[in-house]
Each structure stands twice: as structure tokens, then as C-alpha cells.
A = this chain, B = another copy of it.
Amino acid sequence: MPRKTPQLSVKDLFENGQQYYLPHISIDNVIFGFHDNELKVLLLQWNENGRWCLPGGFVLKDEDIQDAAARVLKSRTSLSDIFLSQFHTFGSSKRKRRRHGIDKPKWLKADSWFMDRFITIGYWALVEFSKVIPKPDEFSMACQWCDIDKVPKLILDHNDILDQALVSLRRNLNEFPLGKDLLPTNFTMPELQRLYETVLNKKLDRRNFQKKILGLDILIKLQERKQGGAHKAPFLYKFDRTKYKKAMKSGLKSGLQ
């Protein structure tokens, strides 16, 4: 059951957040999108020092962690009912902002709960790029997509978290087909292939790829072709919702790799 975040000022949150949230525990979301044939991840830019980080948040005292992750996702993207996969919990004793003086706003007392050690639970989500309305949080001046190959140095261990999310995503490709959540409703086979190639970070054979994907029997080939591109117009496809669900239940026998 999703809950409402208390409406706190930034100062209140820093100084009294522990009244509402569990101390020492945070959520970090790695939100993947796909656009212009590039895999993207949603990042926030911290007000105080301009450094980048993953969208994150805290867990309300009577809130399930899965709901907390969904709440964070919704408040940064406007999206709900998105599948969130918990992939790892990061618990180095050195995970504290206190160690990185640059991260502390000057007006904040050094003993704020916010500066303390945090164990963070990592989730990733796949979202349709065009449906996202990026929205910064109270701490941030910007919330925007970043090409997966151009991610800057992030705060704390957020680069590690991102890397592990990608590893987890790749492992999961054997269990569900990619695309339904990352591509628009109608898409072409080359687009889907490039998505796979980006996530797996390797080239795939065009003909074998098509054979395999169609062999899963979860796509519907449309009559129309994608107009406007240079060169021969490719056919459009869309997912067959019914067959997709059925395939999910029984599990994919053989993954793309």
C-alpha cells in the first residue's frame, strides 16, 4: 500500500527526518530508459555542490521497502505500476556522507542523521523513456537522463550500484524478454536488436536474432512499416500481451546471449 511522504522542508528533513523515516536505511533506484538507440539512466544533480547521484530516498517507519522504492520511482518519473527488481543491498561501514565533507550543506550540523552511515537497498526499473516526466527532489537542481556510457563520477558508491544493476539486468535477460517496458508500443526489429546489443554490450547477428525473438512467439507483426528513416522501411511489431504473460509464467527456456 503506497503511502504519502510527509511534506518537509529540506531543513526539516535533514534535521528531523528520523522522526518519520527508519535511520541508517535508504533506497536507491537505477532507472533505465532507451532513446536514440542508447541505454539511459536517470540521474539527479545535488543542489549544494553540483554532484550527480542516483534517485533515492528513505523508508517510512511503517512502509514496506518495496513500496518505498515505488514511491521514489513515482516521485522522480511520475510513473506507477512499474516492475522494480531488488538486486543488492550495499552496506559498507564507510557509506556515510560525513566522510565526504563536500557533500554537506554548510548550514547543516555535522551530527545530522543524514550525515550518518546508511545501508542502501538497490532496485532497478525499466521504463518507457517518452512517458517519464523527470522531476528533481528537494535536494536537487536537476533530474535528467544520462547515456549509460557517459555517466560521470557519482557520489558515494553510486557508480558501483549502477554497475551492479547492469550486471543484474543482464543476468535477468534469460528470464524475461527485453523491450516491453523500454520501447514504445510499436517498434522495429532493428530497434529491439539494438536494445539487446546495448544491454549485453555486444553485437548480435541480425538474422539469428530475429529468428530467436520471433521463435518466442510473443510478438505480433504489424502490416505497417516504420517510415521516415533513411533506407528500406522496416516492419513494425508489438508485444502480444496475452502470450507475453503466458510465457512469463512458464519462463523462457533459452535466453538471448
Contact = CB atoms under 8 A, between A and B. Distances in A.
Copies of chain A in the complex = 2
A59 B23 contact: no
Interface residues of A, number: 21
A119 B65 contact: yes
A121 B91 contact: yes
Contacts of A22: 24, 117, 119
A92 interface: yes
A25 B121 contact: no
17 contacts: A22-B24, A22-B117, A23-B24, A24-B25, A25-B25, A59-B119, A61-B117, A63-B93, A64-B91, A64-B92, A64-B93, A65-B92, A66-B91, A68-B91, A86-B88, A86-B89, A89-B121
Interface of A: 22-25, 59, 61-66, 68, 86, 88-89, 91-93, 117, 119, 121
Q: What are the 3 A-B residue pairs with the smallest beta carbon separation, nearest first?
A: A65-B91, A89-B89, A62-B93
